[in-house]
Chain A
Amino acid sequence: MSAIEPPRPGLAERRVLELVKHASDRIAIADEEGRIVYANPSLARARNESPAELVGRSLGEFNPPQLKQLPGFDRIRRTGSDPTLTQPFVRHVDLGGGRTSTWEIAGSQFTVDGSLYVGIVARDLSAASQRLAATMANVSIGIAHVSLDGQFLRFNEQFESLVGRSASELRAYQLALDVAPPPDQRGLSFIDALGLAGRVDLPAIRGHLATTDEPYELEYELVRLDGCKVWIDLSIALVRDPTSRPAYLVVVAREVTARRRVDVALRDLAETLSHSGPAMFGARVRLPGHDAGCALRADRQDARCIGAAARRVARRRAVRCAGVLAGRDTVRDRSALGRLLLPRADLRARDRRRGDPGPVAAHRGRSGRAHHAEHLAGTGRKPVMVLNVIVVDDSAMMRLVVRRALRMMNLPIGRIDEAGDGIEALLALRARPFDLALVDIHMPNMDGLALIDAIAGDVQLSHLPIVVISTEASKPRLDEIGVRGIRFVRKPFDPERLRDAVVGALGFSP
């Protein structure tokens, strides 16, 4: 196409042309076929060419070959019929000679004398992009940008190491950051990479973020591919474009395993003390003259394992706990004890939940399942944390019955896995995290009592709440179950009865 003779402009038009000519933004006008009819000097300089050299050539020359399949010019050309496409997008561009750059591109179409044109204004984001990359590389937390359909756009090394995945696993498409990968080069979804499947799904997260400005927060245990378990404090926020439409998600992940260990150790200790009375208290705590400097032995033992920082936190709280207990001369005030043992973040979150009528997504720093249950039952709000359950029964029909009952219990049931005997159950329990096991007694290969003993003997599983569901009715067998501290539901059961047992086993009362 030959160069188009510009019309003789008036003063106003000449001003506009001069503005465009001297603008630092890269500006071009193309015809409806994508051929350039005007390029400003800034655009031409980016390619080391003159504006006249660009006229008549295709905008596609700016598109790297590997990005040809992504919507570029077509996207802009369709803006007339699809207003959602008017928002700027970020794209790597080819500047010739092997040079590339990251531009933010805004386009719009217009008609002059019956001819359709596409106007493009591009801004070089290379410097900003480098600043962002440097920031992400130098922070101590995992950060990721995720597209609305759950694909990773960008992430830092801390994020990779935290979730135990390589960069190529997280993002198979390496050619352009900040661009959603084409369908055939999609990497792991962010839900799978973070081990959230069965706990929460992307629509639920997006649903929350669409209705509130609060980030979606979750604390959970991730089992990495190498079998290593870490507790992760996850915060997901939604970034909107200038027109307030959702653009992408920012995911911030921190490892909180050490803090979780302290919490669990202290909570268990508090539970023991509150159940056992002053005698137990005296046996577990040294009280030199009832002063506030006493320490809990269990805390010391635990703290040695988890490092100096956690030790200081644990001891400080244990000292406060012991001091109050000594002053009150009783250990039966569970609410005071529990409050002392709650991390401050928990208290803030709890207070916020109690006072804030809006949707709540945070389930941070759980003080046991009781805390969560209070939240669920007391507020009637949509649960965020869900219970992943394994049903162990040799009868497929009974597993379906239990599954149905679980769904009828009005509890936040998430993933329900099934196992046909104790061996299958142990394999499943060691492969994935569960919050509850419902176990039959009479099963082939490994029966329910053997399974319960195996769980109790496994350090990783020993805290798993268990409910036995069985036809067993003989007193000796029930005693065997009772001495293990396991709750029992006899078949046939009402869903309400199963719910009571589940709630009891979990340790909270809705």
Chain B
Amino acid sequence: MKPTAIRTLTEIDALRTAVVLTMERLCFASPQRFTDEPPAEDTVDACVAFRGAVSGAVGIAIPRHALLDFAAAVVPPEALAHGLPFTDLVLEIANIVCGNVVPRIFGRTSVYVLSAPQLGQSTAAVIASAVIHFDRGWVTATLHKPG
């Protein structure tokens, strides 16, 4: 997944901040560096649409090979062994990142309704993107304008 455009630094900062906070607190992952382009690896994608004064979507992509490592920090091994799909983690990360990014970018005075997170990429065009490398893998966050 590659962004079609890079917008302002503020939006990228908001994406980076939200992803770093989420991954630090949820998966105890330590950020290493930021890049513009994600590595060419197979990813698990999730997106959350938001509606309010502004509408759009926030997407998350995590390489499949890193997902298990991230998930292992979140849930006990027996939960994974008993069939809890670790793709749920991507959905939850997308949900949290979206919930944090949208008010940060578009203001806190409006109410935004978030849709349930879904697996897959948003079809809307990317207006901002951030790639954050952690000790156990990388995460790409994207902000999409309304489709």
Residues of A within 8 A of B (CB): 394-398, 400-401, 404, 442, 444, 470-477, 490-494
Instruction: Determine if B95 and A471 form an interchain contact, defined as CB atoms under 8 angstroms apart.
Output: yes
Closest Cβ neighbor of A497 among chain B residues: B25
Bound-state CA distance A472–B108 (Å) is 10
Number of interface residues of B (CB under 8 A): 30
Closest Cβ neighbor of A397 among chain B residues: B88
Closest Cβ neighbor of B88 among chain A residues: A397
Bound-state CA distance A448–B103 (Å) is 20
Most central of A394, A398, A490 by chain B CB within 10 Å:
A398
B37 CB within 8 Å of chain A: no
**B75, B98, B109: which contacts A475 (Cβ < 8 A)?**
B109
Given the known A-B contacts A397-B74, A404-B74, are A476 and B109 also in contact in the complex, defined by CB atoms under 8 Å?
yes
19 residue pairs A–B, Cβ–Cβ below 8 Å: A395-B88, A395-B91, A396-B84, A397-B74, A398-B92, A400-B74, A400-B79, A401-B26, A401-B74, A404-B75, A444-B116, A470-B99, A471-B95, A473-B99, A474-B110, A476-B111, A491-B96, A492-B26, A494-B25
Closest Cβ neighbor of B18 among chain A residues: A492
Instruction: Determine if A397 and B114 form an interchain contact, defined as CB atoms under 8 angstroms apart.
Output: no
Residues of B within 8 A of A (CB): 21-22, 24-26, 52, 74-76, 79, 84, 88-89, 91-92, 95-96, 98-100, 102-104, 108-112, 114, 116
Residues of A within 8 A of B99 (CB): 470-473, 491
A397 to chain B, nearest CB (A): 4
Instruction: Determine if B108 and A474 form an interchain contact, defined as CB atoms under 8 angstroms apart.
Output: yes
Instruction: Determine if B92 and A395 form an interchain contact, defined as CB atoms under 8 angstroms apart.
Output: yes
Instruction: Determine if A397 and B89 form an interchain contact, defined as CB atoms under 8 angstroms apart.
Output: yes
Closest Cβ neighbor of A475 among chain B residues: B108
Given the known A-B contacts A474-B110, A492-B96, are A397 and B22 also in contact in the complex, defined by CB atoms under 8 Å?
no
Most central of A396, A477, A491 by chain B CB within 10 Å:
A491
Instruction: Determine if A471 and B25 form an interchain contact, defined as CB atoms under 8 angstroms apart.
Output: no
Given the known A-B contacts A395-B88, A404-B75, are A474 and B112 also in contact in the complex, defined by CB atoms under 8 Å?
yes
Instruction: Determine if B74 and A492 form an interchain contact, defined as CB atoms under 8 angstroms apart.
Output: no
Bound-state CA distance A472–B95 (Å) is 10
Bound-state CA distance A398–B22 (Å) is 12
Bound-state CA distance A401–B89 (Å) is 10
Instruction: Determine if B96 and A400 form an interchain contact, defined as CB atoms under 8 angstroms apart.
Output: no
Bound-state CA distance A472–B92 (Å) is 14
Bound-state CA distance A477–B91 (Å) is 23
**A397, A471, A474: which contacts B75 (Cβ < 8 A)?**
A397
A245 to chain B, nearest CB (A): 38
A421 to chain B, nearest CB (A): 12
Most central of A396, A474, A490, A493 by chain B CB within 10 Å:
A474
Given the known A-B contacts A396-B84, A396-B88, are A473 and B103 also in contact in the complex, defined by CB atoms under 8 Å?
yes
Residues of A within 8 A of B95 (CB): 395, 471
Residues of B within 8 A of A494 (CB): 25
A480 to chain B, nearest CB (A): 9
Bound-state CA distance A396–B25 (Å) is 17
Closest Cβ neighbor of A480 among chain B residues: B111
Bound-state CA distance A401–B24 (Å) is 13
Instruction: Determine if A397 and B92 form an interchain contact, defined as CB atoms under 8 angstroms apart.
Output: yes
Bound-state CA distance A444–B114 (Å) is 12
Bound-state CA distance A444–B74 (Å) is 24
Closest Cβ neighbor of B108 among chain A residues: A475
B91 to chain A, nearest CB (A): 7
A192 to chain B, nearest CB (A): 25
Residues of B within 8 A of A397 (CB): 74-75, 84, 88-89, 91-92
Instruction: Determine if B100 and A474 form an interchain contact, defined as CB atoms under 8 angstroms apart.
Output: no
Residues of B within 8 A of A444 (CB): 116
Bound-state CA distance A395–B52 (Å) is 23
Residues of B within 8 A of A474 (CB): 52, 103, 108-112
